[in-house]
Amino acid sequence: MDLPHTPSLSLAGRRALVTGAGRGIGLAAAVALAEAGAIVTLVARSGDEVEEAATAIRARGGRAEAAVLDVTDLAAVSAFFARRPAFHIVVNNAGTNRPKHMTLVTEDDYDAVLGLNLKSVYFVAQAAVKRMIDEGVNGALIHVGSQMGHVGGANRSLYCASKWAIEGMNKAFALDLAPHGIRSNVIAPTFIETPLTQPMFEDAAFKASVLAKIKLGRIGRVEDLMLPFIYLASDAAALVTGTSLVVDGGWTAE
């Protein structure tokens, strides 16, 4: 009997870039991709954290380098990709949040959240894709969205706006890029324990409200996202594009 073969999750020899890679979800993505065999470039505005992370990945046997890049500086983004070979995998993870009631949001808040969470994501992807197309590389874009790109949240109008926009942008990217063999997908997690979210969970009432929504009964961990990153980057997801992998413990199921 001619049995099918399970597609490989190996990323051996592929070049990967992760933005906001110094901590939290970005660091987990970089570690996961490196453990799957990718040669990972960890990017952040400050070099200290990504240098430390890249060193730790290498100490574990992975291949990694650190690079300083402010993804809100579009000229720097363009120059960064222009001087490097095309990446096979790009994880758009850098992001921010300014939780406020919508009546208190300022123009500066709007520009900060939408600027990093959407504008920078768009133009990082564009610069990466231009290199992929020029070099004939079949690639994978993975954008870190959120369950808040599928539902609403009190005091999160800006964050929801940016993450809902990511979902629509991703679908349009998938259509534009399919003829070039480039896939585009989103990972949309629930609340994950990271240095960014840890202060929020010091508020017992807030933590209880989050746990009431996560039907599996616990806050997410970065480890919950590591195999999803590998999957979407690998040949196992060769027919997967324009979709969102929601890792939310059931939050958006009701």
Give me the tens of pLDDT residue by residue for the chain, a chain 254 residues long: 999 999 999 999 999 999 999 999 999 999 999 999 999 999 999 899 999 999 999 999 999 999 999 999 999 999 999 999 999 999 999 999 999 999 999 999 999 999 999 999 999 999 999 999 999 999 999 999 999 999 999 999 999 999 999 999 999 999 999 999 999 999 999 999 988 788 889 999 999 999 999 999 999 999 999 999 999 999 999 999 999 999 999 999 99
For residue 154, give the amino acid letter: A
2 belongs to a structural domain: no
Choice among 110, 122, 159, 231 that is catalytic: 159
Cβ contact 243:186 at 8 Å = yes
**Quick one: which of 82, 64, 47, 220 has its CA closest to 144?**
220
Instruction: Using alpha carbons, list the distances in angstroms from residue 185 to 141, 176, 199, 248.
Output: 6, 13, 29, 16
Q: So what's the pLDDT on residue 195?
A: 82
What HEC string does the chain produce?
CCCCCCCCCCCCCCEEEEECCCCHHHHHHHHHHHHCCCEEEEEECCHHHHHHHHHHHHHCCCEEEEEECCCCCHHHHHHHHHCCCCCCEEEECCCCCCCECHHHCCHHHHHHHHHHHHHHHHHHHHHHHHHHHHHCCCCEEEEECCHHHCCCCCCEHHHHHHHHHHHHHHHHHHHHHHHHCCEEEEEEECCECCCCCCCHHHCHHHHHHHHHHCCCCCCECCHHHHHHHHHHHCHHHCCCCCCEEEECCCHHHC
53 belongs to a structural domain: yes
1 belongs to a structural domain: no
115 belongs to a structural domain: yes
3 belongs to a structural domain: no
52 belongs to a structural domain: yes
**122 among known catalytic residues:** no
168 belongs to a structural domain: yes
CATH of residue 151's domain is: 3.40.50.720
87 belongs to a structural domain: yes
Query: Domain span at residue 54?
Result: 15-248
How many distinct structural domains can be found in the chain? Answer: 1
For residue 176, give the amino acid letter: D
C-alpha 81: how far from chain center? 18
